């Protein structure tokens, strides 16, 4: 990609970020629509239709593909692909950390990226962890949270799954926050996307029993997936149901018998 095209896209990024942040800021919930457990889901009917679509997609394609991938690919290779995908995402983590004013996090991610790229064979080996460099992760959804943007209504997006309006906007912006996508030539700039897809298939295969228990064994898979996502995301951001103007779940709003399906 010519340098002037990259610079032009970089110049447009702040304008897009500001516009999306303003749109998300308008997503504050109507307190009357928030349930006692802190869930704001005014579009539940539509979301359930999308959930049914995603569930069928998982049953027909993702679950068998994930299981087949995990069976065919050695665990060590799966770990290497996951490390590679994580390493390629670190520049985006650096950008979001800086936008949040988190200079320590930006420094950690920079050190991890350089260490794993140089000493970890391009990121296939997590050398930074061997040198006790802590893992740091963030995204533009968290950046919006730091900027004071409200969570907004719950959203289930096709192919993507559970989210909120704030996090949905964050995911769109994060497509543009990785500087590598502006500097790497084709086809190298698509390696990150391929690695992420492979990593997701690996997760679906490795944690198949947990995901299946939520999607196919719970009485209401939509409600269960929604609850797990919101509790887990709010825990990551250090918020609670009170952030939505509702009563907390309990003394510990994040205690739940179900775990994040993608957590080890």
Supply the pLDDT for residue 251.
36
Supply the pLDDT for residue 185.
82
pLDDT in tens, 179-234: 988 888 888 778 888 999 999 999 999 999 999 999 999 999 999 999 999 999 99
Q: Is the pLDDT of residue 163 over 50?
A: yes
Check: CB of residue 32 under 8 Å from CB of residue 170.
no
pLDDT classification of 9: cutoffs 50, 70, 90: low
- Token pair, residue 141, equals 């959804």
Supply the pLDDT for residue 262.
42
DSSP string, 88-148: HHHHHHHHHHHHTT-HHHHHHHHHHHHHHHHHTGGGTS-HHHHTT-------HHHHHHHTT
Supply the pLDDT for residue 190.
85
Those residues whose C-beta lies under 8 Å from the C-beta of residue 258, and which sit 6 or more positions away, are 214, 224, 227, 228
Those residues whose C-beta lies under 8 Å from the C-beta of residue 241, and which sit 6 or more positions away, are 37, 38, 234, 247, 248, 249, 253
Closest CA to 204 of 33, 31, 73: 73
Helix, strand, coil distribution of the chain in percent, nearest 5: 65, 5, 30
Supply the pLDDT for residue 182.
82
- Token pair, residue 6, equals 């990259």
Closest CA to 215 of 231, 234, 229: 229
Is 255 within a domain?
no
Task: Provide the number of structural domains found in the chain.
Answer: 1
Is 253 within a domain?
no
pLDDT in tens, 126-161: 999 999 999 999 999 999 999 999 999 999 999 999
Supply the pLDDT for residue 16.
59
Supply the pLDDT for residue 184.
81
Mean pLDDT of the chain: 84
Is 117 within a domain?
yes
Q: Is the pLDDT of residue 42 over 80?
A: yes
Whether residue 187 is preceded by a cis peptide bond, meaning omega within 30 degrees of 0, is: yes
Going 100 to 103 to 108 to 109, the CA torsion angle's sign is positive
Q: What percent of the chain has pLDDT over 90?
A: 68
Those residues whose C-beta lies under 8 Å from the C-beta of residue 116, and which sit 6 or more positions away, are 83, 87, 90, 122, 123, 125, 126, 127, 128
Is 252 within a domain?
no
Q: What's the whole-model pTM score? A: 0.81
Q: Which domain holds residue 16?
A: 3-244
Residue 171 exposure: Cα atoms within 13 Å on the Cβ side: 12
The whole-number average pLDDT for the span 39-45 is: 95
Distances in whole angstroms, Cα of residue 206 to Cα of each of 18, 70, 75: 38, 7, 9
Check: CB of residue 215 under 8 Å from CB of residue 55.
yes
Supply the pLDDT for residue 157.
96
Supply the pLDDT for residue 243.
44
pLDDT in tens, 81-116: 999 999 999 999 999 999 999 999 999 999 999 999
Is 239 within a domain?
yes
Lowest average pLDDT, out of 89-93, 94-98, 235-239, 249-253, goes to 249-253
Supply the pLDDT for residue 41.
96
**Other C-beta atoms lying within 10 Å of the C-beta of residue 119:** 12
Closest CA to 50 of 152, 153, 157: 157
Q: Is the pLDDT of residue 245 over 50?
A: no
Supply the pLDDT for residue 252.
41
Q: Is the pLDDT of residue 259 over 50?
A: no
Check: CB of residue 192 under 8 Å from CB of residue 178.
yes
Q: Is the pLDDT of residue 78 over 60?
A: yes
Check: CB of residue 118 under 8 Å from CB of residue 87.
no
């Amino acid at each position: 990609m010519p340098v002037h095209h990259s610079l032009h896209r970089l110049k447009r990024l702040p304008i897009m970020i500001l516009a999306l942040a303003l749109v998300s800021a308008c997503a504050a919930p109507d307190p009357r629509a928030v349930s006692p457990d802190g869930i704001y889901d005014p579009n539940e009917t539509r979301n359930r239709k999308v959930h049914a679509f995603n569930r069928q997609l998982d049953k027909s394609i993702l679950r068998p593909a994930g299981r087949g991938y995990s069976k065919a690919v050695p665990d060590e290779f799966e770990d290497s692909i996951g490390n590679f995908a994580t390493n390629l995402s670190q520049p985006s983590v650096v950008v979001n950390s800086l936008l949040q004013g988190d200079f320590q996090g930006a420094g950690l991610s920079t050190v991890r990226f350089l260490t794993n790229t140089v000493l970890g064979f391009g990121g296939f080996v997590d050398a930074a962890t061997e040198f006790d460099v802590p893992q740091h992760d963030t995204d533009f959804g968290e950046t919006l949270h730091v900027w004071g943007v409200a969570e907004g209504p719950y959203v289930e997006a096709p192919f993507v799954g559970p989210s909120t309006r704030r996090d949905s906007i964050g995911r769109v912006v994060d497509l543009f926050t990785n500087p590598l996508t502006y500097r790497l030539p084709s086809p190298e700039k698509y390696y990150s996307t391929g690695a992420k897809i492979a990593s997701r298939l690996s997760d679906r295969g490795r944690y198949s029993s947990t995901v299946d228990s939520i999607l196919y064994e719970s009485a209401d898979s939509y409600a269960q997936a929604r609850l797990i996502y919101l509790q887990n995301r709010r825990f990551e951001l250090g918020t609670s149901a009170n952030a939505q103007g509702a009563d907390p779940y309990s003394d510990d709003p994040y205690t739940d018998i179900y775990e994040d399906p993608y957590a080890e």
